[in-house]
Amino acid sequence: MAPKRGGVQLTYREYALLPDDGRRHELIEGDFYVTPAPSTFHQTVSRRLQYALMTQLEETGIALVFNAPCDVILADTTVVQPDLAIVRLSQRELVSQRAIEGPPNVVVEILSPSSQGQDQFLKRSVYAKFAIPEYWIVDPDHGWVTQLRLDDAATYQQHARLDRASTLTSPELPEISIALAPIFRPF
């Protein structure tokens, strides 16, 4: 993580000038964050989950599924790169050539040692602030998924905590039904 420059909030304009160096760059309320590339198992879980989501949502014409690195521009000073983001086709106007420009229907963060606190606390707060209806936190090492739903008070409440023997479903996207055992299978 890098602090703000001299207390000045950075904007998308400065963010867009960053080089592609293989690390994840994010701008959260004007503060710049950078994390190293995730582990191979993290990427395996992400790829498997993305494939299942694409099969059930994209190939059936329900939603678009994006994987990192893909910018989600929530404000001029807040640009995040969730591991996965899902946008219903009925909201495809959010998807531009440069980014997803507004809150997706679902965001997914897969925990890594280098980003665990950021994913569980900072991003949770940011995603709630920008009214993303559903947030999944995936722990590849322990084989669980925590699903958070935005309530009427604009805070996340735990909807479900699923282990590797469970089937993932979604209130936001009821078309989803994913057995988690193959997602968390070791390679």
DSSP for 39-65 reads: PHHHHHHHHHHHHHHIIIIITTTSEEE
Please name the helix (run of DSSP H) or strand (run of DSSP E) that holds residue 17, with its range, or none: none
Judge contact between 147 and 170, C-beta under 8 A.
Answer: yes
Give CB contacts under 8 A, 24+ apart, made by 142-145.
Answer: 143/180, 143/184, 145/180
179 located within any domain: yes
25 located within any domain: no
Q: What share of the chain in percent tops pLDDT 70? A: 96
Start-to-end C-alpha separation, the chain: 31
96 located within any domain: yes
Closest listed residue to residue 104, CA positions, set 127, 124, 137, 138 = 127
Task: Transcribe 125-159 into DSSP letters.
Answer: HHHHHTT-SEEEEEETTTTEEEEEEE-TTS-EEEE
29 located within any domain: no
Closest listed residue to residue 119, CA positions, set 33, 11, 19 = 33
19 located within any domain: no
Domain with 141, as residue range(s), is: 38-69+79-184
Q: Say whether pTM exceeds 0.75.
A: yes
Kindly tell me if the per-residue pLDDT of 4 is higher than 50. Answer: no
For 14, 89, 130, 160, 165, the CA distances from 183, given in Å and listed in that order, are 37, 25, 29, 17, 10
CATH number at residue 63: 3.90.1570.10
Of 20-24, 48-52, 109-113, 169-173, give the lowest mean pLDDT range.
Answer: 20-24
Amino acid 9 reads Q
The pLDDT of residue 1: 43
Would you place residue 2 in the very low, low, confident or very high pLDDT band (cuts 50, 70, 90)? very low
28 located within any domain: no
In the chain, how many domains are there?
A: 1
Of 15-24, 29-38, 170-179, give the lowest mean pLDDT range.
Answer: 15-24
